[in-house]
Copies of this chain bind each other. A is one copy, B any other.
Amino acid sequence: MAFEDPAVTVDVIIFTIKDGRLQLLCVQRENEPFKGDPALPGGFIDINESLETAATRILEEKTGVTDVYLEQLYTFGDPDRDPRKRVITVSYFAIVNHDDVTVSGDDADWYPVRDRPDLAFDHDSIVSYANQRLQWKLEYTTAAFSFLPEQFTMSDLQKVYETVFDRSFDKRNFRRKIKKLDLVEDTGTKTENVSHRPATLYRPNKDVGEIVEIL
């Protein structure tokens, strides 16, 4: 029995919707193993920072944003998940609005979640797990707003659901549900300069709790 300490890292799955697709942020690995492959952004935790602080730090380093949806996902710790040494990784997942983000140059880029290339280490299975959790979150909480700017149309919101679940929803039933649950409030403004009927802009209703069964 060797009770030697393993290394501990934090990896962050950063989801956004870009070009109408669910995408995630990866960095290109600079060294072996998996040199050149895309990998989840991550890093070792500082001995004095909390796990969530580490996740926030990594998120900010790659995207410049801090005040976004972020939650712990799962801790992966198979002895051989890193071929070099024992590394336990505490994963977090984040949802960002693509317009708020400036991807910091160092080989970070967006990859579509469905149809992504192979990722380094066990990051593929981490992403699969994160994607399941993301779907669950949209079903049962108001997390969908995190993909959107402060004001959005009903169609914008519906598109978030359609993108994440990769299926369509009935417009009338969708709107009825959102209004019934009182998830949004009318901002009193409408979209402008659109070559069709202007749409009402909504904002999230702050009085609604985090947990609400939506679908």
Binding site for B on A (CB under 8 A): 1-8, 44-51, 72, 74-75, 77-79, 86, 88, 90
Chain B residues within 8 Å of A50, by CB: 77-79
CB distance from A58 to the nearest CB of B (A): 13
Contact B8 A47 (CB under 8 A): no
Contact B51 A77 (CB under 8 A): yes
A83 to B127, CA, bound (A): 35
CB distance from A212 to the nearest CB of B (A): 15
Q: Chain copies in the assembly?
A: 2
CB distance from A10 to the nearest CB of B (A): 9
Contact A6 B47 (CB under 8 A): yes
Among B1, B4, B8, B48, point to the contact of A2 (Cβ < 8 A).
Answer: B48
Pull 17 A–B residue pairs with CB atoms less than 8 Å apart, ordered by A.
A2-B46, A2-B48, A3-B44, A3-B45, A3-B46, A5-B5, A6-B8, A6-B45, A8-B88, A45-B77, A48-B86, A49-B79, A50-B77, A50-B78, A51-B77, A75-B90, A88-B90
Chain B residues within 8 Å of A4, by CB: 47
Chain B residues within 8 Å of A46, by CB: 1-3
CB distance from A140 to the nearest CB of B (A): 9
Contact B72 A74 (CB under 8 A): yes
Chain B residues within 8 Å of A47, by CB: 2-4, 6, 79, 86
A70 to B192, CA, bound (A): 54
Chain B residues within 8 Å of A72, by CB: 74-75
Chain B, Cβ-Cβ closest to A81: B50
Chain B residues within 8 Å of A74, by CB: 72
Chain B residues within 8 Å of A77, by CB: 8, 45, 50-51, 90
CB distance from A99 to the nearest CB of B (A): 32
Chain B residues within 8 Å of A8, by CB: 5-6, 8, 77, 88
